[in-house]
Amino acid sequence: MAEASGPLFAFRRPSAPAVQAASAPLPGRSADAMPDPGPDPVPDPGPGGHRARLRQRLLEAGPAALADHEMLEMLLFLALPRRDTKPVARALLARFGSFAAAIAASPAALAAQPGLGEAAIAALKLAQAAALRLARAELHNRPLLDHWAAVEAYLAAALAREAVEQVRALFLDRRNHLLADEVLGTGSIDHAPVYPREVMRRALELHTSALIIVHNHPSGDPSPSAQDIAMTRELMAAAKTLGIVLHDHLIVGNGRCASLRRLGLM
């Protein structure tokens, strides 16, 4: 349903005869004694007017014209059509620190925020999913090794704010085009198990020619650990026996990517 941009109730101006009848003096009173009703009341634009202004600014000047809290406000419009969403948006920023961190927060963390119900949480997670899908679309039908900046930007968006370790693989064809992007496992805050045999089994199912392995460090430091290096070498050995190339192992932390290949560790 389209959202109303004006007040909930509108006052009709009476027709001319009605105005004349209303302004006629009462019996026994002169017209001079009638009180002056004053000017017509001006409707308060309220939240509806504010929403219309934000929408107009977005459409005319683009998303760069909106502050983080205004972006959150507009998302929450979808779920809270009759509430002032500015206080909720500012509370989200105060808790999570940024627009990106707010939409990437887990549903459980968002549910703990006063004023957010299931519909509002779904609106925020939908925005995150749309951003990731748009970033992933940049990778399709392109040789990934020739668009490395786009690869790292997508992986940083997907993993940098995860609260636990997650291991995923980008499965590539012989032209290094993306066949699949799959989560192989999740773990704790500092460990996620990965089994070379399972990775290679899935690679064979997809007729993979090459791989990029990725995982995140929730601590924010993407520096590889001794365990990361050992796991990479096991994967390289397993891939080599099957004629599959392991291009790189990327570690994501706080929006940055560390490449074990660039570091000379593989």
The amino acid that residue 56 corresponds to is Q
Question: How far apart, in whole angstroms, are the C-alpha atoms of residue 109 and residue 144?
Answer: 34
Q: State the pLDDT confidence band at 193, using cuts at 50, 70 and 90.
A: confident
User: Where do the structural domains in the chain lie, given as residue ranges?
Assistant: 47-134, 143-259
pLDDT digits (tens, 9 = 90+) for 88-108: 999 999 999 999 999 999 999
pLDDT digits (tens, 9 = 90+) for 133-150: 998 888 888 899 999 999
Query: Tell me, what DSSP letter sits at residue 40?
Result: P
Looking up tokens 């593989």 gives 266
pLDDT digits (tens, 9 = 90+) for 222-246: 999 999 999 999 999 999 999 999 9
CATH number of 143-259: 3.40.140.10
Q: State the pLDDT confidence band at 49, using cuts at 50, 70 and 90.
A: confident
Q: State the pLDDT confidence band at 162, using cuts at 50, 70 and 90.
A: confident
The pTM of this model reads 0.69
Q: Which of 214, 216, 206 is nearest to 261 (CA)?
A: 214
Query: CB-side exposure of 58: number of CA atoms within 13 Å?
Result: 16
